[in-house]
Structure 1
Amino acid sequence: MFRVIETFSGIGSQAKALTRIGKPFEIKNTADWDINAILAYCMIHKGKIDVDKYKNVSEEDIEIFLGKCTLSLDGKKPMSKSSFKRLSLELKRGLYSAIKETKNLVSITDVKGEDIPENIDLFTYSFPCQDLSLCGCWHGNKSGIARDAHNRSGMLWEVERILIEMHKMGRKLPRFLLMENVTNILSKTHEEDFGDWKATLESLGYYNHIYRLNSKNFGIPQKRERAYMISILCNDDDNKKRLIKDYFEMHNLEEKEEASRLRQRELKLEDILCLDYKNVPQYKEEADASKPNDTVSRRKIYEDNDMLYDGKKVNNIIVNTVTTKQDRNPNSGLITYKNYARGKTKWRYLTPRECFKLMGFDESDFDRVISYNPQIAKNRKLYSTEKLIKLAGNSIVVDVLEAIFRQIMDINTEILGERE
């Protein structure tokens, strides 16, 4: 049984990829503080949020438990005490149940080395990219992953702290680590800080291999290039390091042929877009919610971005990166949608459902997420169109992870030898 820890777990692209591979695995723990992601993860991977299982837990005990967790409403900053008090009991019960069911350690800042079980095969960490991305640089933010920056991308050093705590306690470190982030982490700007991180891992006995992989080469019609670093615990075994180095040279996922060999499907944009408004009322509702107001800035967006569907035919292109927000310029593309609405455009953005599919998730995953959408204020539910798109944009393309995990499984079996 392959034992996994998912930190910065989001909606669980790692768990989804491992499920698709079909080999036995167990998620020992997740870690995410964003309440939107916590609930969505549970819905996708557990099928429901089983509040009935915890119906005997008192309101007071739920308040005490959640009060000790560092939770976030937006994934950017901790929730204030006043915001926590305003959460409905229904939502608090849902959160409590989801955290328990997914064994969520919540904020990475609160996780200790002793919290990580021994004999973990894979530890994944996809820490926030905001302070690393080119967009951040354009806005003057070049702090990146500097140790003293105390920013969101600096959460990387919490992973270092956890591993060092485990090492000092004499606890067995995870066999494999997998990092995912924007490719700008590999740039000259962040070379020194990223080199510091790689050196730390090497000092702990890890061999690091870095990939720059684009989802378009793995059967998903999205141009999304990301950096992945696979770290493999070899300690001082030079023979293992040599065999691993040879393996990656022979099975290089950056080569299209190898990516093609490992991919399990190839989707076109026509497989992604949800255009059957007549027979699927939900598609129409989501399309209506994705039409922006007809403003000067939106007319500029219309002029500058790809038209994915012109009302008659799908333009089967590879779309631009799905980000956390479609209402921006540039974006992933537009769809002609002339359903009349006063003051609205004659086109729409990608819907959240389409964004989930472009990240490699199934429609059934999306349907499970939106089936639990509790009221959080008068006339306001937890998941808006914008929040759902943000969940997708913050995720990792499942099909890319599938290929990486197949390689990790190979190395685990053929070179390291599976744990007893």
Structure 2
Amino acid sequence: MIKLLSLYGGIGADAKAAKRRGVKVKTIDYVEWAANRVKAYNAMNPFRYETQDVRTWDLKPDILVHGSPCQDNSAANQNDEEGRSELLLETIRIIKEMGEWRPKFVIWENAMDYGLPQTRERVFCISILGNEVFDFSKLKKRPLRPMSEFRQLESEIEDIEKYVVKIPSMLNSLEDLATAEEIESNKSKFRYVKTIVDVCNTITERPDRCPAAGVFKMEDGRYRYPTEREWWRLMDFDDDDFDLMLDVFPVKPNNRSATLYALAGNSIAVCVLEAIFEVILSGDYATSFTTDDAGQLQLIC
């Protein structure tokens, strides 16, 4: 049994990935401050966690997974120890204060090629106890899945009018209405809204931002935003997961759900964590797991 700690755990992409791999994992704790994310996590897992502050936490995990908001660690905002991404420093502090205990693996994600049809480039930092270096080339990349697996038929969408793009600035920015020369010449001045065909842009908290993940062209020639269900599919969650969310966060008539969009947009894509777990829990890292008398995870090398 592998003990997993999820810091700033969001809606639980790590637990979802472990389940898919068939790994016997016990989530010894889950730390998340946003109440809606905790509700979503509890709905998909047999737990009833409460919101909690990472600064008061102390347990002994084998694998620690954490992510933090990308803004303060991005090229656009190079803050070292301030703002939301100070959560990274909290993780380092927690590990230092574990005493003799150390997680065998620490996985950090900060906002391709794993089959999802979206442009979602992210940074992953994987630390291994000891002197080993994680070999990212061992990650199995997957062929791009067709957008038809993710897109709903228009006949399946209830109240489709609420998804139709009506914001003038977005309609005027449609990529379909611009020539290739205009798009190229205005790259730094003007943002075009992508029409989704094979691949969408990055899934974020909202579908109506510009630039956005993109919009679908409807059969009648109009354009619509991706639905909340499509948003979750594009982050590699199952429809069963989304259906559970509808019970927890009912969608009001004639309204899109900002909550459901944000929950998925702030998550880690499940398939990427699944690929990472496949490597670190396989023979590539000699992971015949045993536990010593103190409960510390050991690897047979």
TM-score, with length taken from structure 2: 0.82
State the shift of 1:370 in Å.
1.2
**Residue in structure 2 matched with residue 130 of structure 1 by the alignment:** 71
- 2:240 is aligned with 1:364: yes
- Kept in 2, the 8 Å contact 1:4–1:122? The answer is yes
Q: Does 1:402 align with 2:246?
A: no
2:30 corresponds to 1:33: no
- After TM superposition, the structure 1 = structure 2 runs for residues 186-225 of structure 1, keeping only pairs within 5 Å, are 214=112, 217-225=113-121
Verify: 1:284 aligned to 2:169, yes or no.
Answer: no
Partner Cα separation in structure 1 for residue 194 and residue 51 of structure 2 = 41
Asked if structure 2 preserves the Cα contact closer than 8 Å seen for 1:29 and 1:105, the reply is no
Q: Deviations over 1:148-180 (max 9, x none)?
A: x2x10111111122122212xx4x121111000
- Whether the aligned pair in 1 keeps the contact of 2:165 and 2:171 (CA below 8 Å) is no
Structure 1 CA distance, aligned partners of 2:260 and 2:147? 20
Deviation of residue 411 (structure 1)?
5.7
1:275: how far off? 1.5
Q: Is the 8 A contact 1:289 1:385 kept in 2?
A: no
CA 1:318/1:346 → structure 2, altered by over 3 Å: closer, same or farther? closer
Using the TM superposition, give the Cα deviation of residue 291 of structure 1 relative to its aligned residue in structure 2, in angstroms: 2.6
% same residue: 29
Q: Aligned pair in 2 of structure 1 residues 319, 373: CA closer, same or farther (>3 Å)?
A: closer
Asked if the contact 1:6–1:30 (Cα under 8 Å) also holds between the matched residues in 2, the reply is: yes
Residue segments in structure 1 that go unaligned for 5+ positions in a row: 47-100, 183-213, 235-240, 309-314, 340-344
Residues 2-59 of structure 1 deviation map (CA, whole Å, 9 limit, x = unaligned): 110011111111011000001211111101011110111111223xxxxxxxxxxxxx
Counterpart residue number, 1:238: none
Does residue 1:327 correspond to 2:208, yes or no?
A: yes
Picking from 138, 149, 152, the partner of 1:274 is 152
Unaligned stretches of 5+ in structure 2?
176-191, 293-301
> Matched residues in 1 for 2:3 and 2:260: separation?
29
Counterpart mapping for 1:247-396 below 5 A: 248=135, 252-253=137-138, 259-260=140-141, 263=142, 267-277=145-155, 280=156, 283-285=157-159, 287-295=160-168, 297-303=169-175, 304-308=192-196, 315=197, 317-337=198-218, 346-373=222-249, 385-396=257-268
The change in CA–CA distance for 1:133 and 1:323 in structure 2 (over 3 A counts) is farther
1:95-244 superposed matches below 5 A: 101-104=47-50, 106-109=52-55, 111-112=56-57, 115-116=58-59, 118=60, 120-133=61-74, 137=76, 142-144=77-79, 146-147=80-81, 149=82, 151-167=83-99, 170=100, 172-182=101-111, 214=112, 217-234=113-130, 241=131, 244=132
Name which one, 1 or 2, has greater alpha-carbon Rg. Answer: 1
Give distance in 1, aligned partners of 2:73 and 2:89: 14
**Residue by residue, what CA displacement relative to the aligned partner does 1:385-410 show, whole Å, maximum 9, x if unpaired?**
22211111111111111110111102
1:387 partner SS: helix
Three-state SS of the structure 2 residue aligned to 1:274 is: coil
Q: Is the 8 A contact 1:44 1:366 kept in 2?
A: no
Distance 1:335 1:13 in 2: 26
Q: CA deviation at 1:321?
A: 0.9
Instruction: Name whichever structure is richer in helix by fraction.
Output: 1
Check the 8 A contact 1:29/1:102 in 2, yes or no. no
Tell me, what secondary structure is at the counterpart of 1:259? coil
Post-superposition offset of 1:415: 5.4
Measured on the aligned residues, the alpha-carbon RMSD in Å equals 2.6
Alpha-carbon distance in structure 1 between the residues aligned to 2:243 and 2:273: 22
For the residues of structure 1 that align with 2:273 and 2:129, how far apart are their CA atoms? 20
In the TM superposition, structure 1's runs of 4+ consecutive aligned residues that sit over 3 Å from their partners are 102-105, 415-418
SS in 2 for 1:166: coil
Separation in 2, partners of 1:15, 1:367: 18
Per-residue deviation, 1:289: 3.0
Tell me how many residue pairs correspond in the alignment: 275
Give the TM-score normalised by structure 1.
Answer: 0.60
Deviations 1:363-391 (A, max 9, x none): 1111101112379xxx89xx952221111
Query: Do the aligned partners of 2:280 and 2:287 also contact (CA within 8 Å) in 1?
Result: no
